[in-house]
Amino acid sequence: MERQEFLTKLGISLAAVCVGCNLASCGSDAKSDDPTPTPDPGTGPMISVNLDTEIKNIGDFKVAGGVILVRLAQANAADSFTAVQVACTHQGTSINYNTAQGKFICPNHLSEFSTAGAVLKGPAVTALKKYTVTITGSALTVTA
């Protein structure tokens, strides 16, 4: 076998293996690895926000530390915000918040979650982890 023929066959074989792996990973089964972020104990807040300068309008959000924080109402009170894990529990894709519909939606397979993290529509079957939001003055923090 000549070098060119060997490299061609090798490339086709590797491409077939890669395609097979990608198709197998896009099934509808729940993800076996837990995509929930696990902060190290004692590391402090997962997200810190100055409400005078950030997340000022309903629907504004911030993603950090594996968490998505969204403003749901105008008041600077803890219940005007929600903070949940950003990784979809189905396959770990980052979710988005849809302000018009008032829910989180995974762009990968269209799982839907309430603002409290409950599954509204699958294929996801496990709720998103919800985090604690606290506000002191204009300082908002999200903790596990």
User: What per-residue confidence (pLDDT) applies to 27?
Assistant: 42
pLDDT averaged over every residue in the chain: 81
Question: Is the dihedral angle over the CA atoms 70, 72, 76, 77 positive or is it negative?
Answer: negative
- CATH code for the structural domain at 29-143: 2.102.10.10
Ordered by start, the domain boundaries in the chain are: 29-143
User: What per-residue confidence (pLDDT) applies to 50?
Assistant: 96
Which range, of 17-26, 30-39, 97-106, averages the lowest pLDDT? 17-26
pLDDT tens track for 37-94: 444 444 556 899 999 999 999 999 999 999 999 999 999 999 999 999 999 999 999 9
- Confirm if 115 and 103 have CB atoms less than 8 A apart: yes
For the chain, list the strands marked E by DSSP: 47-50, 61-64, 67-71, 81-85, 96-98, 103-105, 112-113, 119-121, 132-136, 139-143
* pTM score above 0.85: no
pLDDT tens track for 119-143: 999 999 999 999 999 999 999 999 9
Q: How close are the terminal C-alpha atoms of the chain, in Å?
A: 60
Which of the four pLDDT bands, split at 50, 70 and 90, describes residue 95?
very high
Which of the four pLDDT bands, split at 50, 70 and 90, describes residue 21?
very low
Q: What is the residue type of 32?
A: S
User: What per-residue confidence (pLDDT) applies to 57?
Assistant: 96
